[in-house]
Amino acid sequence: MINIENSSILVVDDDHDIVNAIAALLSREGYTVYKAYNGLEAIDSLMQNDIQLILIDVMMPKLDGLSAMMKIRATKNIPIIVLSAKSEDSDKILGLSMGADDYITKPYNPMELVARVNSNLRRYLSLGAADSVQKENVVRIGGLVLDKDAKQLSVDGSPVKLTATEYKITELLMTNAGRIFSAEEIYSRVWNEDSYSIENTVMVHIRHIREKIEINPSEPRYLKVVWGIGYKVEKQ
Amino acid sequence: MILKKRLTRIIAFIISCVLVGICAFQCVFIVNENMKQVDSRSNRDDVMESHDYTHDINHLFDQLWAVSSIYLRNTDKNSRYTCSKEYEKSIKQAMQELELMDISGKLTIENPRDFEYYASCGDRVLTNTTKSAEELKSDYSIEYIKGQTNFFPKGVNWYHQGEKRWYTTNYGLTYYLMYGSLPKQAVALYDLDTTDLESYTDDFGAVLYYKTDGTMPVPENNYRNNEELEFEPANREAFEQFEHDEENVYYALPDERNGFEPNERDIWSEGKNVESVGDMSEVTDTDMYMFFDENSRNWIKVSKDKFQKYDEKNSDITIYIKPSEALISEYEQYQTMRGNIEQDSVHKAMPLIPVGIAGAIIALLLLIACGYDAEKKKFVLSMPDRIFAELPVVFIAGAAAGVFALLYGMDEIRTVLAEYYTNVDMGGIITGSALTACYAIALGSLITLSTRLKCGSVFKTSLTGRILVFVWKYLKKLFSFIRKKLDLRSIRHIEKNSLKKDIFLRRFLIRTAIAAAAEFFVYIATIPSREIEAFLVCSVFLLVLYVIFSFRDHAEIAGVAKQIADMNGGDYSPRTVPEKSPAYGMTNNLNNISDGIKTAVDKQVQSERMKIELVTNVSHDLKTPLTSIISYIDLLSAEEMSPAARDYVTIISQKSDRLKAMVSDLFDLAKATSHTDVSNEEIDAVILTQQVIGDMADKIAQSGMEVRTDIKAQTAHIMAEGRKLYRVLQNLIDNALKYSLAGTRIYVNLDNDEKFTRISVKNISAEEMDFTPEEIIERFTRGDKSRTTEGNGLGLSIAKSFTEACGGKFEVVIDGDMFTANVILPLIEK
């Protein structure tokens, strides 16, 4: 097993400054960083080096990020994080559906970038082997693993401390991933009381859970607010 | 084409005129020559066809008839009278009056031309020749047998015998009526002593006597000379004269009271009028006579039967009159000579025919070729063709009239001028010249008319045409003036062009008129014969037809209505309707409108797309360097540096974060205002508000402000995009937290009315609000003009744009220090 600290990361962007900045950032974290400035160079570099994660821009000369990603995906299943100035939902959906594991919009928050890189690497390296082991009473959604027996939630392998109420909400939403729960429903099922004057109780809890499990709580990956309707955990 | 050139045509015209002129002159000369010879004879009295001859033979006939009928009838072979003395006297007097007898009683028959005559009445004969009657028969003789003339004698110019008839009565009157040349038209003979009797003279000159003792009819008062016998006007009509038998009115009584039942058909067949009267006394002059009885001093009525009238026949009279042989032979000779002259004239005229025909052919060719311009190779109008078209028409009519007048008056002209010019036929020259002139004028007129016809400008060049065009022009000006005036007042003047002809209305009127007429016809055809069922059936049939035809129009209107509905739904595709359809104009107008809207919408969409593209590009270009800045600031902050430097780096970091947020906001704002990215779904505003408050709970707690939430509705279902509406509320609450006076409360209210839900965020501003709601919503305007606090001034702009993108209304109310932002969204109607 490769240690996370020894992992090699390929950074691809046509803007040399950005590549250099990211390289410095990641080197600081202890990663080995390879650089490429277009899709073709990225593929070449991938051939020559042992690389565990790719950070790739979309708009590049010669071969664009999405096309390069498709070529890479044909042979490798290493995590690929798309790094793009395109912040539209449609762009994100396109990137993710074409094989990206994550999507970070520019200008990124350096801390968030590092966190996401870590998260993706951890999942890939430490949990990749465990993927095949299907335990009973374990719900797995992306990097989230909920062990119902142990009443334990881990994100990308690291356990998260949840209060009892938070755990119950998380369990409810994760077991019914994809389904939207209204605040009342959550309240009545978690508190086992009729919802009356629930005010923002549920929302506050949700926010707390999000802060614990999400890298960027205002752009949540797992626990999402469906505004005006309710809450859900996205199916991955 | 021959006669291409104008000059050749002029020459041809002259040639044609000359040729026809030659013809005319020659013909006139020949005819005049002929007439001269005839003339020289007609002035003579001694020839048979002279007027005197005709008069003489007719006069002789009249004399012989009178003599035969009056004198011969009442005498024997020895010229002794066979009648009473009174009658003899009367005959003598009458014969003298007719100038047929002298005082001595000898017949005086005028016969200046020595006609041979034979007249007989019964076996009494009067003749001046030894020839028998048979021998006097000839083509030139008068032959009167049994009261009739059998033929018109040759050589006599005019011939009439007049009506000759006579009758006798049972009161002694014999009346002869003889139209003719005698001094009197009628004579009355009396077989009684007429001395001392009252008398009067009738219309024809006969002297009629009457007695008032009931033995003779009394005349109508307009014949009477005796003033004493004046009748009362009421009885004026109570008289009957024999002359009145000619009366062609028969009076018919409606019943048999008078024993007189007229057979109308018979009376009709006699060509007489029938007038129905209630009582015979109204007209009375048919069956009663009245006379005045001197003894009784009374008027006495006498039946008509008392005065019988017997019509006598002339069948016993035979008259032959024959001219002398010398006259006959002279006449025959003349006839032969005349025949020769005429034949000679024809022979002389024969060679003129081809000349005339040649002239006519040239004229015809001229008519075909006239107006042709060899250079322009088409027919053109020349100067004379621009004179009013009526003029040549008048010329032609005048020329035709002139020719007729000349032909009729040719002889007159000749005779008048012959008195002055004995050697030259001046009349012929003038007539011929005039005829030629007429021909030239007519031909010229025809040529100009033909040219105009070929150029299609007969109407244009005519005075009538010009007047009409002139009038039309001014009428049009007037109409357009009036129309303009009206149009200014009419709002609908744009539609007018295509709706000028309101075919719907016209069709409706025609259809209704036809239906009404048909219904009326059906009514007329069925009601009088009491066929109510037929009337009802036909009416229903008509009604059905009417409805069917009406539906056709309705379908067309429905088509237009559908197009409007489709346009409302965003379908701007043009429709085609047959040109004859009444909806044609409307559909065309709608198509034009559709086209306009479509173009406008397309343009707008295109411009929005370009705007978004621009914003996307700009934001991308902004983001790339910003990424580097943020990255390197991060790297920089990890480096060793003095505390002052670290402060600076922190400020740069904050500002770059703000810049990042601003770029993102700008992009969102641009997108929202362009309405290109709308994905509304049904959400609950109540839940959303709670979610936002919950989401911001930590931030609110940090700010130290108190937020009072008052949600009055259970639910508020709206169509909106949750994420956008979240941004709206987030921005509003953020703003409130940022600008509220410390220690004041923020109120978030939600309330529904019938159609809308209203979410309002109220707070008390920390600073004085010296701006209008409009100003604050504007981009980059901030509550604090000094811009000391955080924020980019886009918050309210985004709130407004996003609310509007969700189909809602965003408003800001400033009341003193209270700032209220309202988000009003339409509820879904359940």
Search chain A and give the residue with CA nearest B627.
Answer: A107
Cα–Cα distance, A215 to A210 (Å, whole number): 9
Total H helices, total E strands in chain B: 20, 24
Rounded-to-integer distance, Cα B726 and Cα B798, Å: 11
A201 touches chain B (CB under 8 A): yes
* Residues of B whose CB is below 8 A from A21: 628, 631-632, 634-635
Inform me whether the pLDDT recorded for B791 exceeds 70: no
Q: Per-residue pLDDT tens for B113-150?
A: 889 999 998 888 888 888 888 888 888 888 888 878 87
Q: List pLDDT tens digits, range B10-20.
A: 888 899 999 99
| pLDDT of B410 strictly over 90 | no
CB pairs under 8 A between A and B: 109
Beta-carbon separation of A225 and B695 below 8 A: yes
Burial of B93 (0-12, 13-18, 19+ CB in 10 A): middle
Task: Mutation target for A interface from B617, B624, B724: give the one with most A CBs within 10 A.
Answer: B624
* DSSP states of B340-376: HHHHHHHHHHTTHHHHHHHHHHHHHHHHHHTTEETTT
Question: Is the pLDDT at B694 greater than 60, yes or no?
Answer: yes
- Distance, C-alpha B257 to centroid of its chain: 59
Name the residue facing B628 among A18, A226, A230 (closest C-beta): A18
Q: Which pLDDT score, from 0 to 100, does residue B199 have?
A: 79
A59 contact residues in B (CB cutoff 8 A): 620
pLDDT of B454-481, one tens digit each? 888 888 888 888 889 899 999 999 988 8
Give pLDDT, residue B280. Answer: 36
Q: What is the mean pLDDT of residues B388-403?
A: 91
Q: What is the DSSP letter of B230?
A: P
* The predicted structure's pLDDT at residue B159: 75
pLDDT at residue B754 tops 70: yes
Please give the residue of chain B at the shortest CA–CA distance from A225.
B691
DSSP letters of B432-460? Answer: HHHHHHHHHHHHHHHHHHHHHHHHT-HHH
Question: Nearest Cβ partner of A21 from B620, B632, B690?
Answer: B632
User: What part of B 673-702 touches A (C-beta under 8 Å)?
Assistant: 683-685, 687-688, 690-695, 697-698
Q: Which helix (H) or strand (E) holds B391?
A: helix B390-418
Per-residue pLDDT at B675: 62
Q: Search chain A and give the residue with CA nearest B615.
A: A86
Which whole-number Å values give the CA distances from B652 to A19, B603, B659, B661, B738, in the listed order?
Answer: 21, 43, 10, 14, 22
For residue B254, name the pLDDT band (cuts at 50, 70, 90): very low
Q: How far apart are CA B666 and CA B659, in angstroms?
A: 10
Q: Which residues in chain B are closer than 8 Å to A37, comparing Cβ atoms?
A: none
Scored b (16 or more CB within 10 A) or e, B497-512 reads eebeeebbeebeeebe
Q: What is residue B563's predicted lDDT score, i.e. its pLDDT? A: 85
Which amino acid, one-letter code, is at B231? F
3-state secondary structure of A105: strand
Residue A97 burial (C-beta neighbours within 10 Å; 0-12, 13-18, 19+) = exposed
Q: For residue A87, give the nearest of B632, B664, B723 by CB distance.
A: B664
Instruction: Look at residue B745 in the predicted model and tell me its pLDDT.
Output: 87
Distance from A233 to chain B by nearest Cα, in Å? 16
- Residues of chain B contacting residue A229, judged by C-beta atoms under 8 Å apart: 683-684, 687, 722
Q: A38 with A60: CB under 8 angstroms?
A: yes
Q: In angstroms, what separates the C-alpha of A105 from chain B's closest C-alpha?
A: 9
Label residue B719 exposed, middle or buried (CB < 10 Å: 0-12, 13-18, 19+).
Answer: middle
- Which amino acid appears at position B517 of this protein? A
> What is the token pair recorded at A107?
């200008």
B113 neighbors B327 (Cβ within 8 angstroms)? yes
**What's the full length of chain B, in residues?**
830
Within 625-644 of B, beta carbons closer than 8 Å to A belong to 626-632, 634-635, 638
Please answer yes or no on whether B690 and A183 come within 8 Å at the CB atom.
Answer: yes
Model confidence at B693, pLDDT cuts 50, 70, 90, reads confident
Q: Does A21 touch chain B (CB under 8 A)?
A: yes
pLDDT of residue B826 exceeding 70, the answer is yes
Question: What chain A residue is nearest to B623 in terms of C-alpha separation?
Answer: A107
Alpha-carbon span A2 to B367, nearest angstrom: 119
User: Position of tokens 């077991």?
Assistant: A175
> In this predicted structure, what is the pLDDT of residue B146?
82
Residue B311 pLDDT class (50, 70, 90 cuts): confident
What proportion of chain B, given as a percentage, has pLDDT over 70? 84
Place of tokens 């244009």: B460
Check if the interface score ipTM surpasses 0.85: no
Inter-chain CB proximity B630 and A110 less than 8 Å: yes
| CA–CA gap between residue B785 and residue B795 (Å, rounded) | 15
Assign A204 to helix, strand or coil: helix
pLDDT digits (tens, 9 = 90+) for B656-683: 888 888 888 887 777 777 666 667 788 8
For residue A107, is the peptide bond before it cis, meaning its omega torsion is within 30 degrees of 0? yes
Q: Are B686 and B752 in contact (CB under 8 A)?
A: no
B121: closest CA among B324, B312, B322, B323?
B312
Q: Which residues of B touch A225 (CB under 8 A)?
A: 691, 695, 726
Per-residue confidence (pLDDT) for residue B276, from 0 to 100: 43
Closest CA to A88 of B40, B677, B523, B533: B677
Residue A187: the pLDDT is 81
Going by C-beta distance under 8 Å and a sequence separation of 6 or more, which residues neighbour residue B473? none
**Cβ of A28 under 8 Å from any chain B Cβ?**
yes
CA separation for the pair B657, B693 (Å, rounded): 24
Q: What pLDDT sits at residue B219?
A: 64
Please give the average per-residue pLDDT across B218-237, as a whole number: 45
| Residue B4 DSSP symbol | -
**Residues on chain A touching B720 (C-beta within 8 angstroms):** 228
Give yes or no for A195 touching B (CB within 8 A).
no
Q: Which of A107, A206, A229 sits opposite B660 (nearest CB)?
A: A107
* Interface check A93 vs B, CB under 8 A: no
Query: Angle at which helices A16-28 and B584-637 pack, to 10 degrees?
Result: 50
Chain B residues with CB inside 8 Å of A85's CB? 619-620, 623-624, 627
Contact list in B for residue A230 (CB cut-off 8 A) is 687
Instruction: Compute the nearest-CA separation of B752 from chain A (Å).
Output: 16
Q: What is the mean pLDDT of chain B?
A: 79
Chain B nearest-CA residue for A183: B687
**Residue B784 pLDDT exceeds 90:** no
Q: How far is B562 from chain A (nearest CA, A)?
A: 38
Phi-psi region of B263 (alpha: psi -120 to 50; beta: other; left: phi over 0): beta
Q: Is the pLDDT of residue B438 over 90?
A: yes
pLDDT band at B291 (very low <50, low <70, confident <90, very high): low
Nearest to B777 by CA among B795, B756, B761: B795
- Tens digit of each residue's pLDDT (9 = 90 or more) over B478-537: 988 887 777 655 545 444 444 455 677 778 888 889 989 988 888 888 777 777 888 888
Query: CB-based contact (8 Å) between A126 and chain B?
Result: no
Residue B780's region, left for phi above 0, alpha for psi from -120 to 50, else beta, is left
Predicted confidence pLDDT, tens digits, chain A (236 residues)? 456 667 889 999 888 888 998 998 888 888 889 998 888 888 888 888 888 889 998 888 888 888 888 888 888 888 899 988 887 778 888 888 888 888 888 888 888 888 888 888 887 876 654 444 556 677 888 778 888 887 888 887 778 888 888 888 888 888 888 888 888 788 888 877 765 655 567 888 888 888 888 887 777 888 888 888 888 888 76
Residues of B in contact with A107 (CB under 8 A): 623, 626-627, 629-630, 656, 660
Q: Please state at what angle helix A201-213 crosses helix B685-695, rounded to 10 degrees.
A: 50
How many other CB atoms are there within 10 angstroms of residue B804's CB atom?
Answer: 15
Quick: pLDDT tens for B59-91: 999 999 999 999 998 888 888 888 888 899 999
- Residue of chain B whose alpha carbon sits nearest to that of A207: B695
Tokens standing for B701? 């707690």
